[in-house]
Amino acid sequence: MSKRSKYDLDSIPQDPPYLQPGALVEIQPPEFGYESPWHTATIVQRATPISSNRFVVRFTHLFQDQKTGNRPLRMISLGDIRPHPPPQRPRKFENGDHADAYHNNSWWDGEIVQELMNGNYLFRFTSDYQWPKYVEFEVNQLRLHRTWFHGHWIPPLEASEIAVEEVQREEEPTKKTMEMEEYNERALVEVANDEDGPNRAWYAAIIVTPVGNKRYLIQYTTMRTDDNRGFFGKVMDTLHIRPRPPDIEVPDQFVMLDQVDAFYKGGWWKGVIIKVLSDDSKYHVYLATHEEMEFKHSELRLHQDWIDGKWTKPSPGVHL
């Protein structure tokens, strides 16, 4: 009886559609640990020897060469690969739901903490390596957490959850939409919080990534987390984001009624000089919050307004 060839067709595994070349999958790189998020990749081919159950993949966002822009091929074991779930309709989440959030081009495990007044959700990351721990997400950035087990999703994907792709007519952008600023990743900006009211402060931040609908994930550069291990992050729309103001020459000494921004509690607050102190290096500033405070010269800058996409200086004689 002749020996069976190691290349006998009967011994070659018949891979399911999601493992065929060109298929879109999700990968959990083993070097990142069990708390790693799931990253999108495409199958290039099954690796040899076939018995190794490994596949050659190319990530769609991960491991990009900064000089060439290329992404190298990686060898990944079958146990670290799962299908890419089909697009899903936005769903209503409940507090405590086990969910995934799309953050920094990958899907992170976590929990729904609370539905917010604006319809977004406060999400808590499971991973101890992700900071900040709590981030606000839109509903279309979230999905119910599922595990791929023996060829099935647990819990199973219901037909009613799967989104039907529709071709939508591109509407002519409104003037307001056209005027909204767009920002690139790593852009230096300033952001304002609604909770500060109409006389809000502007805080230095950096654009992490766009998240759609004129909204961006930003990271503050002056506001640290409570444990001082990193900086707070937040999803904000373009109505609350503006470019960093240009550097303009600061006078050696401010004078009465100069409009300034005062640096206080990590942000820049609008105010006006109401008293120059005797040592010429400190000032009393009347803030737009109707508070009077003392500031050093180094804590002040000349006020500039961001109007219609341009930085302008206040008109003389216009004060708070």
Q: Provide CB contacts within 8 A for 233, sequence distance 6+.
A: 131, 132, 135, 208, 217, 218, 219, 220
Whether pLDDT at 2 is above 50: no
CA distance 263 to 40: 42
Contacts of 278 (CB under 8 A, 6+ apart): none
| Model pLDDT for residues 77-105, shown as the tens digit of each residue | 998 999 988 888 888 999 999 999 998 88
Q: Calculate mean pLDDT across residues 257-269.
A: 90
Q: How many residues does the chain have?
A: 320
Higher pLDDT, 262 or 228: 262
Q: What is the pTM of this model?
A: 0.48
The DSSP-derived string for 204-239 is EEEEEEEEETTEEEEEEEEEE-TTSSSEEEEEEEGG
Residue identified by tokens 């101890």 is: 128
Determine the Cα–Cα distance for residues 62 and 157; give it in Å rounded to an integer.
27
Residue with tokens 């503050």: 220
**Would you place residue 7 in the very low, low, confident or very high pLDDT band (cuts 50, 70, 90)?**
very low
Q: Within 13 Å, how many C-alpha atoms sit on residue 193's CB side?
A: 16
**pLDDT on residue 190:** 93
